[in-house]
Amino acid sequence: MYYYLIVAFQAFCIYHWFKNKNDYYWVFLILFLPLVGCIIYLITQVYNKRDVDKLQEEFTTIINPSKKIKDLENILAFSETFQNRVNLADALYENKDFENAIKHYDIAISKDFQNDTYVGFQLIKSYFFLNQYDKVIAIAKKFEDHREFQGSKVQFFYGLSLAKSGNIKLAEAHLSAIDQRYSNYEERLVYAHFY
């Protein structure tokens, strides 16, 4: 039984070697030192440091979600740029801290980037999750004519905000844009409940 597992392990390593066109001496190592050669090849060629660092970072984020935010706050303190501020706001948004995310998004677009669609869309989503529908409507009106707005979740949130504020006809027009075949299942379910 072990023999077949080692042969399968060798076959995988040789396939990976052939696919990635690594140095030819790896074939000799894999064939003449079956188990040890395969393990050495696996550690040095298949798993690289970048993958391990990324896995470790994701694991740390799961255990301590505020670590990513603290790191981004330190980066922002070191270099206050638009992108660093947006990265911090995105981390706060992912952590469902919408109020602080809105503060950072507002600061990011307050100077030169008032028409940045990504930040505008993030603001719309954040205000929607805080049930501040009038602010969603005010921001969404700026982006109604953008191509990215049409058929997006942001348009869906805009339609729901219009419905909550009592403008049913306009809400229906925006919610119907999200009704596309074979996609947007959650939104279509909400749209069905709207009727």
For residues 26 and 39, the answer to whether their CB atoms sit within 8 Å is: no
Instruction: Please state, rounded to an integer, the average pLDDT across all residues of the chain.
Output: 79
- The percentage of residues in the chain with a pLDDT greater than 90, rounded to a whole number, is 3
| Structure confidence at residue 185 (pLDDT) | 47
pTM of the model: 0.64
pLDDT tens, position by position, 61-98: 777 777 788 888 888 888 888 888 899 899 888 888 88
| Buried b or exposed e, range 184-193, using 16+ CB within 10 angstroms | beebbebbee
Residues 20-33, mean pLDDT to the nearest whole number: 82
Q: Place 192 in a pLDDT band, splitting at 50, 70 and 90.
A: low
Rounded to whole angstroms, the Cα distance separating 118 from 105 reads: 10
Residues 37-47, mean pLDDT to the nearest whole number: 81
Q: What is the DSSP letter of 172?
A: H
Domain range summary for the chain, segments of one domain joined by +? 2-47, 124-195
- pLDDT over 70 at 166, yes or no: yes
